[in-house]
Structure 1
Amino acid sequence: MMTNLFTRLRDTLKADLNEVLDRKENQNPIGLLNQYLRECEHETEIARKLVDRQVQLKDEFEKELVEAAELAEKRKHQAEIASKAGETELYQFALAEQDHYSDRADRLRVSLKYVQGQLEELEGKYEEMKHKLKDMHIRRMELMGRENVTRANHQINKVLDVNTNSDKPYSRFQEIESYLDRLGEQVDRSFYRSTIDARVAQLEAEIEINNGKSIS
């Protein structure tokens, strides 16, 4: 049962990521990916606890095996002493106990071997899950980079794209720049008109002075 549950958790991480991202076209794909990764991280944490539990079970089997083997050896020694002492009843009891503990140790060895095999399988699948999760974190970084470039290009194009929309900031800047150029020309013309009379009067005075000098 534990192996089947672990397999289900591992298969969750093997789901096609593109299928997740395409689930709702109008949603932010990075947001969907983050949600999916949180779910996978939760499943991976469950798997880790199952692996830890299997390790604990293996340790318990090993402890029980050591205890049963020691008791079997102890009863064997006691049976030998009782036999030498001629204590038939004690010998038969110790011998029966030895058989009981030996049988238990044999059964525990079989169970321990099976549990160890399960643990190795679970640890392998758990490592596979962690690698898959790490790969998806890297893919999220790649997608975030692509999204960031797309957003940056969009913002940059809003400024640089002069031809597509007159409401673009750069277009408005050009309009203001043209307006300031026209305003500067108007100021120059106004200044020139305001000074032309004085300049002409000055020229006339200079001409009269020069004519007077010529007559004298």
Structure 2
Amino acid sequence: MGIFNRVKTIVKADLNELLDRVEDPISLMNQYMRELDEQVDQAKDALAQQLYLEKRHEQLVAGVAAVVAKRSRQAELAVAKGEDTIARIALQEKLNEEAKLKVYSEQYAAMKQQTSALRDQIDVLLEKYNELANRRLVLLSRAHAAKAQEQLQGAIASFSADQALKGFNRVEDYVQRLEAQALAGSYFIPSAPSVDMEVQEAVERELALLKENK
């Protein structure tokens, strides 16, 4: 049994180490925020239900209070008319309704305290949620900046200045060869013979004499 327990412990330790390497902290942080989102939604539903019940109980208290006031008026009118039996019935119902009104009022007060306590808990939850949401944005921004810097450093590390210089030198040599070929080619383009101005003037004079003699 001792050997099996040791093997089990070693395997468990290896699995935990593997999980630690696989888990992405940013993914875990996003998962935490999703769980907080669910808690906020649940708190919202709970508050909505509590406010609904509180409103219903408020209406119940108001309705019983209205019945108490109505029975009180009925008893007063019955006494004024000398109808003691009706007055007794009205007063009995009034007492019954007052007893219910007391219970409902106490329940309503307790319910309002519960609503207040729930609001306080939700305020704490929202404060923590907003704090973590802002912190998440900051951490994401820092993580992206760090990754961008790491990529830039990798690009700089992989960049070879000597190799780039050799490439530019090869391009410059190629351009110089093209320029030399163009310059050499210009020597083989026949140029128009140049005419001496004095010779041209002499030719014009001779031409004029020929025209006069003719």
User: Same fold by TM (over 0.5)?
Assistant: yes
Aligned pairs for 1:100-111 (under 5 A) are 100-111=96-107
Return the structure number with greater relative CO, CA threshold 8 A, min gap 6: 1
Q: Which amino acid aligns with 1:30?
A: I
Shift of 1:27: 2.6
For the residues of structure 2 that align with 1:84 and 1:32, how far apart are their CA atoms?
Answer: 78
Q: Identify the match of residue 154 of structure 1 among 142, 150, 156.
A: 150
State the match for 2:76 in structure 1. 80
For the residues of structure 2 that align with 1:187 and 1:52, how far apart are their CA atoms?
Answer: 79
Q: Which amino acid aligns with 2:152?
A: I
Q: Which amino acid aligns with 1:48?
A: K
What TM-score do the two structures reach when normalised by structure 1? 0.67
State the match for 1:66 in structure 2. 62
CA deviations on 1:118-153 (whole Å, 9 max, x unpaired) are: 111100110111111111111111111111111111
Q: Identify the match of residue 163 of structure 2 among 149, 167, 175.
A: 175
For the residues of structure 2 that align with 1:79 and 1:180, how far apart are their CA atoms?
Answer: 112
Unpaired runs of 5+ residues, structure 2, are: 1-18, 177-214
Runs of 4 or more, structure 1, over 6 Å off, are: 182-188
Which is higher, the Rg of structure 1 or of structure 2? 2
Shift of 1:174: 3.0
Measured on the aligned residues, the alpha-carbon RMSD in Å equals 2.6
Shift of 1:49: 0.8
SS at match of 2:23: coil
Q: Which amino acid aligns with 1:94?
A: A
Count of equivalent residues: 161
| Pair 1:25–1:130, CA change in 2 (3 A) | farther
Between the two proteins, what is the percent identity of the paired residues? 23
Q: Identify the match of residue 89 of structure 1 among 64, 69, 85.
A: 85
| Pair 1:83–1:154, CA change in 2 (3 A) | same
SS at match of 2:48: helix
For the residues of structure 2 that align with 1:97 and 1:131, how far apart are their CA atoms?
Answer: 50
| Pair 1:85–1:149, CA change in 2 (3 A) | same
State the match for 2:180 in structure 1. none
Q: Identify the match of residue 132 of structure 1 among 128, 131, 144.
A: 128
| Pair 1:146–1:26, CA change in 2 (3 A) | farther
SS at match of 2:22: coil
